[in-house]
Structure 1
């Protein structure tokens, strides 16, 4: 019974297959999870040990103490500038002498360089520019070493206007802001300078009546609490990206493995839709990442890592979510460039290490990054984690409201979203157009054809509309005899009859499993078609031996019938379904056994068959029963729990047959089914094939003429992309054979003295010696040879020519094949 496949069935098939496969890969999976866990645990330990030691040495107290400063002992001098030459300003020198307003500057005596001097004093300069030049020159001279008293001024005072009668004073005070160039209480020099000027101003107005002001300053009570040291502010930008990126090579490996082992190709032949493959692989890989991210998040939260406990939970969740999505897409994209898992894995791990370290270097340099930096998802994610861990490690964790476009992490979130979409589209596109080891890539502009077909008029044609048109044309030209010839010469009569039967519909559709109608395939850039106008029928219960040299076109035709290639023209009907329009349904009724066993080594026999049973749409309630029935049919039920890698070569081959039988297949394609097997296992498989054909049709491609001769009901031979002959084995041998072969053996004692060639030539002058070795001679006899006369002739001459034994055989199928394919120089 045939079942209709659906997306949910295929999702279930892929999910359970992937889950089981990964479960069996315990060592590999353990390493993939252990490394991220180890990195995070090391980071947590470092944070506890190193951070704890530093935090214990910090008092972390709240202080309400304050300090008081007075300016009675201020040491230094003032630069004064009097641009308007105001005479009332005056001066105050180092000896204590002075005039004008500055005469009243409050000085006291100090001892410097063995000399008593009075401070503060004034030094008049011609302009503010000169003052600035002098200060700058002194800074360049002394550097940032120990600055003593009288090196730099307390301040610079520019007197803009002074009108004592109006009690008016206008001045500009220039103060030092670089603490390393200021002596003593540099940040309070402005207050001290104002205090001195105010005291002088009052004394000047009051004619020196001894106004005295005392300047003192004290601080407000202040709060002090040490910020706990968090080592993730330094190491988090490297550790977290490493831990959360280590599965990227694993994702690349899984996709490349399916391509390398042709597992994906077989699944597609067995009904898997490519879109379902991408969607389910994406979901499964993201689930693996999610499990790792959740475990890491749990460990870091419990351990109190600041970026996980102090920042915005939603923003961090969004960053981790978008990184997971973009990483899976990016892994898909990278996997399209690799054909071997080893190369993909090495590149993946190397890429992760280089990118994370590159981000660490750029972040330490504190330089802005170009826009293309965000087009590589791992760099963007590493940058985002570096910024967040640094801010949170220093007590500056941004709240959700801080995530505006000006905040770099917000832009990173945007670009990770864009990366997810762009790399997923690129992965699907490149997977179709890049050169591949198996199959032919699509044209780079393949999507244009799909768009054109979507909007083209007419829609889907009837499956027989094209054949009816051809029938009309054939009938018109039959009178002129054109049907008897093709472009290269005369068409074989059997091939012509097969074509007539298809085009004129001279067959019973209920008896046919496969009807091929003018199938043709022309690959771009190649001068000859790989397959040209193939007409063929296969009845129910029939085994068709489909033979041809390498490049003759048989693989191309099988690929079109199984949906790997689309035909250039023509079509075929499998179980009444058109390969142009009904490939999804056709996949439910065909089975494929590839040349070499295409199996997941870590799945059991039961799990392997169950995967393809689900893929074919078998209802959930009977899928296990159907699996067991197939295993019984191929004699593997007793070892159903055994892993594929534990099976013998013959068991693996039978399991491949079981895969082809899933979904109650109407037709099975066998590609070199006995390649590389021993004679005993080969004969066992031949018995299995004979059992299979009772309920279904079989197309057998093989290079073993013995296998084709024994198993096939009919033989079709293709050469140079065309069907050259078709018929039963005996018919082809009779039609294309050169007659008979007779082998004669001489008795051992007479090998060197007797030669039967003269004897054979007397019986048949046209006989030819084809080979001889150590007393054994092989001759070819014409087709009109009378077998009974030859037998009687050899018996009569046995004693005279010391004939030990002889045997007679008709032309072999191999001889027919070699004759038909002798001029085949096609290269596909």
Structure 2
């Protein structure tokens, strides 16, 4: 039986979420279409690139990038040289052919070096290597500047640069460093050809100078046979490194939004008061969000696989599954974590979309600029967005160049394996952080837990309670007892009716069959506050009774209801609701109580029936009786004819009645109404009051309101709390008589005699203690003492009516508002 309420709550949340998503078709379509659009773009790019590449000759890959930088003039080519060691016989060779020494022995013509043209070499000499290199750098800068300005540079860079180390004719030995161009931007030939040509020149010059011959060595450079095949590059997978992070994480803001909107609209708070367990709330949201993510994954992976994207078809399917599966868990947990910091949906949505976009781009920057050839430090993986983005980008890039890793590659040394591991660690850590922060961070409704609340179970293991009776007090209770001792005159000044109620509870002087609620010494003390929010409350409420619970803000009304509905645990004392103890039987209590908050709290896109079905399932109404139970409640509040209408289409009065219907769902025996007619027009308010009067026939109702008129009309008894204590208790007439200042009489005289006659003398004759309270344009209001005999006053006025030109008069007792103000005038509590 213990699992039955849990299964009902899972059903309630699943069907509510499913219906809500179904109504939010546009939002759902956008969330699914964004990933699909990204994948379809990849498909289009893939198809286009393949069609272009199929027309390419795989062997036609030689490109001369220098052709648009400078033009080649074979008659004006040269070699730089330097003789830093001052070697003799190195000589020179000018552009006119005049030369000496080793360099002067260079043959003047070489054929078939570049496009079958003749080449006339000569040398430009430099004093040292630095001067030679600076000149080369200067020429490159001039070339680059001309290219940026779309100008053609007609001079060539040197074919090569020589730095002579040693030369000996006798030993027939030559040592020289040959430098050739390696930057393709400035290369007008082929680097290997330039080197071979320079060797031809030097070898020829060496032989001619040393041996006195006239030879010209001609050696050409050709390539070995090349192996070629059709290009096997998967463009979609390469680009997927940028697309897939967006496609699989753009739903994260929706997850955050769904949690924050229920906090913002107090939907979660109402559900908790109606019996929803917070653990079930998180479990069901986790499952539902993961299902939505899985739908997107199916679409993305399905379309990608259908078009043979290598990242999903050629690598390890199990490895990819672990990565995507782990990211889903990490993303849902991280969304819960983010939701704890937001109170407004607009702020949450903007921040989360911004976070996703920035994270994708920042990860790309770090991965390709900072951590291209090495793994990032371990803390990099603590942020789940970075971890997943890097993992999917790496796999996409590897598969894009036909290097998809197989399952055998997924060892600990393989970075993607580490990423998968850390995603699952992130999922657990962020889920724990989310649950913790949800309890301790300040919130708009309710009181956050102590930061070390999780140590309470451990504390109880080592600190055994003195007894197991319901009168036991824990450490917090002692604060309340101290407060009582500081106010040792409390029992002496307690109201008689309150004292009798306390005695009635303590001595059980009541018939349990006629009582719905028994509150026994209920107290609540919040940490860090000097006074208790609720201080020893004793109260009973009969079946069919409406109790008006009144008091200034912070007096303890909300705390009382929060304890009775299970939101807070009492510091001490207890209460029984229809025989169930709030300390041990809240699951049973939640099935028989209902709450209508001050403001209407609904999912606007659900219908009346769907709204009530959610709460009926939450309370564990049997499946076979769900519809029947809901329709019966709708008839009771006169909403059956609009049962299929969406909540957002209802009028204000209808929404208020639907709030009552929510409270009544599940055959509630006890209803809590908080400011039931706030903000309604007089006609709608009157109709609601009649509805409440109808509802109380079979139920008990606790009504909190600031409207004394409402409390006076609806309540059978009034309980006024102040400074956490019950100050007075009784029906309206009793309280007015006991705490009121007597009677109020209003007299209106004929406007013709306003300036000549005043009824003050008449009233003073009847009662010397009468006080004039108001006087305006012939209308007089007097306060009369409690001892006033109404029949005598009536006789006195009738006898003197004509003499004082009295047109009308009216007598009333002190109002309930006067009583309330008098009781709470010294209340300085702020809770």
Distance of aligned partners of 1:270 and 1:149 in 2 relative to their CA distance in 1, 3 Å threshold: closer
Whole-Å separation in 1 of the counterparts to 2:473 and 2:358: 58
1:447 matched to 2:446? The reply is: no
- Change in Cα spacing, 1:810 to 1:311, as seen in structure 2 (3 Å) is same
Q: Corresponding residue for 1:127?
A: none
- Closer/same/farther in 2, CA of residues 149 and 352 from structure 1, 3 Å limit: closer
Counterpart CA distance in 1 for 2:364 and 2:621 is 52
Residue of structure 1 in register with 2:42 after alignment: 43
Q: Distance in 2 between matches of 1:602 and 1:141?
A: 72
Structure 2 counterpart of 1:252, from 256, 259, 265: 256
Match in the other structure for 1:438: 445
Distance in 1 between the 2:158 and 2:830 partners? Answer: 96
Match of 2:665 in 1: 662
**1:83 equivalent in structure 2:** none
SS of the residue 2:599 aligns to = coil
| Structure-2 change in CA distance of 1:713 and 1:751 (3 Å) | same
| Cα deviation code 1:238-272 (max 9, x no counterpart) | 32212222211111111111011111000001010
Please give the alpha-carbon distance, in whole angstroms, between the structure 2 residues aligned to 1:552 and 1:594: 18
In the alignment, is the contact (CA less than 8 A) between 2:518 and 2:539 conserved in 1? yes
Q: Hey, what does 1:365 align to over in structure 2?
A: 369
Corresponding pairs, count: 775
Instruction: State the 1:454 CA deviation.
Output: 5.6
1:576 maps onto 2:579 in alignment: yes
| 1:27 paired residue number | 26
Which whole-Å CA distance do the structure 2 matches of 1:791 and 1:620 have between them? 64
Q: Structure 2 vs 1, CA of residues 156 and 328 (structure 1 numbering), >3 Å: closer, same or farther?
A: farther
How far did residue 355 of structure 1 move?
A: 1.3
Aligned counterparts, 1:566-645, within 5 A: 566-645=569-648
Aligned mates of 2:3, 2:790 — CA distance in 1: 58
Q: Distance in 2 between matches of 1:546 and 1:422?
A: 44
Contact 1:173-1:190 at 8 Å conserved across structures: no
Q: 2:71 corresponds to which residue?
A: none
Report 1:725-744 matches (<5 A): 725-744=728-747
Which of the residues 654, 675, 678 maps onto 1:675? 678
Conserved 8 A contact 2:159-2:180: no
Shift of 1:664: 1.8
Show the 5 A alignment for 1:496-515: 496-515=499-518
| Cα pair distance change 1:190/1:582, threshold 3 Å | same
Say whether the 8 Å CA contact 1:573–1:579 is kept in structure 2.
yes
Pairwise CA distance, 1:157:
13
Contact 2:591 2:619 in 1 (8 A): yes
Q: Deviations over 1:687-740 (max 9, x none)?
A: 222222222211111111122122211111001111001112121111112111
CA distance 1:436–1:245, shift in 2 (3 Å): same
Q: Which whole-Å CA distance do the structure 1 matches of 2:236 and 2:462 have between them? A: 57
- What's the TM-score, normalizing by structure 1? 0.81
Cα distance 1:190–1:650, how it changes in 2: closer, same or farther (>3 A)? closer
Q: 1:58 aligns with which of 56, 59, 75?
A: 56
CA gap of 1:315–1:157, structure 2 versus 1, over 3 A, is farther
- Whole-angstrom distance in 2 between the partners of 1:147 and 1:283: 70
Post-superposition Cα deviations, 1:773-824, rounded to whole Å, max 9, x if no partner, equal 2222111111111111111111111111111111112222111111111111
In structure 2, relative to structure 1, the CA distance for the partners of 1:695 and 1:340 (3 Å cut) is same
With 273-282 and 484-493 compared, the bigger mean Cα shift is at 484-493
Distance 1:391 1:310 in 2: 11
Q: Give me the whole-angstrom Cα distance separating, in 2, the residues matched to 1:777 and 1:3.
A: 68
Inter-partner Cα distance in structure 1 for 2:668 and 2:472:
27
Compared CA separation, residues 156 and 504, structure 1 to 2 (3 A): farther
Q: CA deviation at 1:148?
A: 9.6
- Of stretches 641-650 and 579-588 in structure 1, the one that deviates more from structure 2 is 579-588
Structure 1 residues without counterparts, runs of 5 or longer? 64-75, 80-93, 95-106, 114-130, 159-171, 194-213, 475-481
Is residue 383 of structure 1 aligned with residue 382 of structure 2? Answer: no
Aligned partners of 1:300 and 1:495: how far apart in 2?
Answer: 74
Structure 2: runs of 5+ lacking an equivalent:
62-77, 82-92, 94-105, 114-127, 144-154, 167-174, 199-217
Q: With the length of structure 2 as denominator, give the TM-score of the two structures.
A: 0.81
Matches within 5 A, 1:396-475: 396-453=403-460, 457=464, 461=468, 463=470
Q: 1:459 to 1:686 in 2, by over 3 A?
A: farther
Name the SS of the counterpart of 1:513 in structure 2.
Answer: strand
Q: For residue 229 of structure 2, what is the aligned residue in structure 1?
A: 225
Question: Are 1:267 and 2:265 matched, yes or no?
Answer: no
**Structure-2 change in CA distance of 1:176 and 1:8 (3 Å):** farther
- In the other structure, the counterpart of 1:393 is 400
Alpha-carbon distance between aligned partners in 2 of 1:4 and 1:711, rounded to the nearest angstrom: 40
1:757-796 aligned within 5 A = 757-796=760-799
Alignment check: 8 A CA contact 1:3 1:588 kept? no
